[in-house]
Structure 1
Amino acid sequence: MVPVPSCPYTWDYWTAEPSDYVELTCLMPNSIYLPLTVSWDANLQDVKEELWELAAKQPLFGMLHEMTGYVFKFINSLAVSEEVDDENKRLRDIRPVFGVLMLIERSIERPGEHLLNTQISHLIGKGLNEFDSLRSSEVNDFRKRMRYIAEESLIRRSQSTRLERLRYHYPPRLADLPTVPTTLISHLNNNCFILVTKVGNTECNDLLLIVLVSSNV
């Protein structure tokens, strides 16, 4: 029998002053549970690695697949079941109710749909299953109209050129003018300006690229 979760029965447990460690109740896919004590700021990858080290000493370990084939599932603050694909998230970020985590097999069908639904639920503060149970004609009509608008926008973007897609994803922040704005003319030095760029993700992170750009005023 699974013991009572060790996390306190308080609604503000995860928002209170953090402690050094938190006790978790982890439900494994091979039908056993493992109590685990980890750091308050531990991420899910660290939790999974410690779970596997502990599970290797327990019965039925041979029934488990590779560690990467499982994801964590828990009950969030909205009382909705949620799966987490991003294992870089910390425990204090996901805030599982009563510190109960369950490992389930990773879904290979439409993996991003569940994550998107979870993000929408957090954004609107209500689970999507509550909207599905509504029987309001106004709500259904609004959802239908919004779906048509989204589909039209998707079709329009799929027919756009590469340049239009580039401008949509990376909108330019510079003035699209053939001449230099009057507010910048006073800052030019012999009709030139210096462009300083820091090159990142290189062996030398301190490399600075200084370019002298001429401007036709």
Structure 2
Amino acid sequence: MGVRFDYDYWGNQDGGKNNAKDETTEVTFFMPNGVLIIQTYSVNATLQELKADVWEEAERYPLYCHLGDKSMYYFSAMSATSTGCCELNDESKRLFEVQPLFCMFRFVEKQVSVNNKLINNITTLLGKTLSEKTLKNPEVNDFRTKMSYLGEEIANKRAAMNRMERIAYQYPPKLVTNKVLPELVKKRIVNGDFCVVAKSADMQVTVKIPCKATPDEVIKRILEKKQISAN
């Protein structure tokens, strides 16, 4: 069965002009790991919101381990208002403002040269090159050079992280400074146990966990409870 395309789709939309806040459209994402994801979004959603949501959705698809952090990629799309592919580095733009052809996006891994393109954009706005403004100030030049090296070093370290290291970086563990439980926490303990609610896409379970349980023990109890509930 064929799919009918609306070649003037964006020309037929209001994009928020006439109370089109509820206007939605299907957006197709070509992920860097070869996976195709199709989601429905409001035409007023920003690119930043789209990226955050599709990266969360990608966790439910195969080959997620081959994806880097979302900050390592930028949007690429063919615009309905211009020719050729456009690199979209400004993620504050709304979907209607970008108007991607057929509502298709491709994520492309950032290269070091992206920084140079941003500098060129800044140069256009200023009307003169950054080097002309900073050439006479050695302190500024030294600071920019050191920060550039530091940024590249951090980017290279993050790019070399495996999946577990990326998770630990994005969600660092919160460790207590001593073994004494605060009074607020003690009030929530019943016979030495916490009540923990574990939610997933298909089920929600509540389990009692000893306050001194390790993460492995917590996961084991949750899986056991889910297995019992499923049966």
Superposition TM-score, scaled by structure 1 size:
0.49
Higher helix fraction (1 or 2): 2
| Higher CA-based Rg | 1
